[in-house]
Amino acid sequence: MKPIKVGLLGLGTVGTGVVRIVEGSQQDVLSQTGASLEIAKILVQDKSKARSIAVTSDKLTENAWDVIENPEIDIVVEVMGGIDLAKKYILESLERGKHIVTANKDLMALHGPEILAKASEKGCDVLYEASVAGGIPIIRALVEGLSSDRITKIMGIVNGTTNYIMTKMSQEGAAYDDVLKEAQDLGYAEADPTSDVEGFDAARKMTILGRLGFHANVDLSDVSVRGISQVTKEDIAYGKRLGYEVKLLGIAESQDDHISISVQPTMVKQSHPLASVNGVFNAVYVYGEAVGETMFYGPGAGELPTATSIVADLVAVVRNLKLGINGRRGFAPYKEKKLKSDEQISSKNFILLHVEDKAGVLAQITQVFAEHEVSLESVLQHPNKTNPKAEIIIITHDANQAAMKKVLKQFDAMDVVHSIKSVYRVEG
């Protein structure tokens, strides 16, 4: 069989990894699929740029159409990033019957349904394992491994940059700004870190996981997002003393076919496996009605881990080519999307208040919770003796979000409450 020809859109970090792995694993791919892969054409921005891998210059092009319109190319791997141009190239490639492998979470989160519909129309594969949690085969786990189960909850540490920052803040008692600066120096955070630290990157990945886990066409705008830039070292220290680590978690839940998806810094009980996922590692915790708890852990980014997922997708496309079933193993959402109301979203909560230091204040505070039928798991007053302010930390039992909003609004209006310093969801 002739080698199956692959066109690459982009030759940055991940694209370079794809070339390395395809070249290094030719014999394995051939043994596993009966066909070999050849990277035939690569779109780059500047042909003359020096590169860390040897590619003959006739394979490089600065013109995307040399890939898209190339009749020899069977599979297009999109690793250029960005949205509009990547979307155009992918749709045009599909139009020409080419299969797609992409690592583009932004694109799949925003335009996944449109791209998958086009692929289905054209009988083409679109695989995107690398778009969520780099080297962890979480999409396969959801779509195939747990296909017989009803997923009720997905909790993910799906952004390595923020997990690095939270880990460092926790381990060293350091302040957010200092650790962010260090992460930037090390190349773990971008010069403009907004997309990572404000939770937008995680929200895109949770959109994709929510669609696959709950079989409904979740939109990025359905995800409520809060980042880590307001997390203080005091919050982390209080959390630790009470047995929690603060992690930026994506949380997708489904009950009675009503779903909610959020990204937020969360107090995770130290005994929960997600609490010890440290540094740039990612992990996705999946709860299924039948299977119970499973967790998938691994590198969330990086040249070779991400490229591993891309090449695994390439191998899957090649297997489908050999079987003649491309475009027929798609997993289209079959459930109507119904979002939970605030009344239906519930969790434990951690609340840190600064209050007036006089008799009766604690009674007033707890009375507000009682009025809104929020019951309390624990209340700590003056937990920090070195701090002269009167501080109260409250951990609630499960409380719905509507009630919590009313409680916080009432605190905001009370003279004895000087400030609501922090509010976190609690898990584990």
- Judged by CB under 8 A, does residue 156 bind its own copies? no
Beta pairing class for 244-255 and 258-269: antiparallel
Given 81, 160, 227, 298, the residue binding its own copies (CB under 8 A): 298
Q: How far apart are CA 411 and CA 157, in angstroms?
A: 31
> Is the CB of 76 or the CB of 314 nearer to its own copies?
314
Cα 368 to the center of its chain, rounded Å: 36
Adjacency order of strands within the sheet including 75-78? 60-61, 37-43, 4-9, 75-78, 99-102, 126-127
Is residue 397 within 8 Å of residue 369, measured between CB atoms? Answer: no
Q: How many residues of this chain bind its own copies (CB under 8 A)?
A: 56
- Which 200-229 positions form the footprint of its own copies (CB under 8 A)? 215
- Judged by CB under 8 A, does residue 305 bind its own copies? yes
- Which 256-295 positions form the footprint of its own copies (CB under 8 A)? 273, 276, 288-295
Is residue 239 within 8 Å of residue 231, measured between CB atoms? Answer: no
Q: Residues 181-200: x/- map of binding to its own copies (CB under 8 A)?
A: --------------------
Look at residues 404, 414, 357, 354 and name the one whose alpha carbon lies nearest to residue 376: 404
Q: How far apart are CA 27 and CA 33, in angstroms?
A: 10
Look at the chain and count its residues. 428
Q: Residues 45-84: x/- map of binding to its own copies (CB under 8 A)?
A: ----------------------------------------
Given 1, 12, 31, 190, the residue binding its own copies (CB under 8 A): 31
Given 170, 309, 346, 396, the residue binding its own copies (CB under 8 A): 309
Which residue stretch of 29-37, 63-71, 196-204, 370-378 sits at the interface with its own copies (rule: CB under 8 A)?
29-37
Q: How far apart are CA 160 and CA 135, in angstroms?
A: 12
- Residue 376 token pair: 């309390």
Among left, alpha and beta (phi > 0; psi -120 to 50; other), residue 355 is beta
> CA triplet 190, 273, 304: central angle to 5 degrees?
45
Q: Is 9 annotated as a binding residue?
A: yes
> Is the CB of 220 or the CB of 307 nearer to its own copies?
307
- Judged by CB under 8 A, does residue 242 bind its own copies? no
Given 128, 176, 214, 296, the residue binding its own copies (CB under 8 A): 296
Which residue stretch of 143-151, 159-167, 196-204, 377-385 sits at the interface with its own copies (rule: CB under 8 A)?
143-151
Q: Is 190 annotated as a binding residue?
A: yes
Given 115, 314, 321, 352, the residue binding its own copies (CB under 8 A): 314
CA distances from 242 to 32, 230, 245, 380, 387 (A): 51, 20, 9, 10, 17
Given 38, 106, 129, 201, the residue binding its own copies (CB under 8 A): 129
Backbone angles phi and psi of 270, in degrees to 5: -60, -25
Given 197, 251, 311, 403, the residue binding its own copies (CB under 8 A): 311
- Judged by CB under 8 A, does residue 132 bind its own copies? no
Shortest approach of its own copies to residue 104 CB, angstroms? Answer: 19
Given 98, 105, 140, 340, the residue binding its own copies (CB under 8 A): 140
Is residue 392 within 8 Å of residue 380, measured between CB atoms? Answer: yes
Which residues participate in catalysis according to the annotation?
205
- Residue 330 token pair: 């798609």
Site residues, its own copies (CB under 8 A)? 17, 21, 24-25, 28-29, 31-32, 129, 135-137, 140-141, 144-150, 215, 273, 276, 288-299, 302, 304-305, 307-312, 314-316, 319, 323, 325, 328-329, 331, 334-335
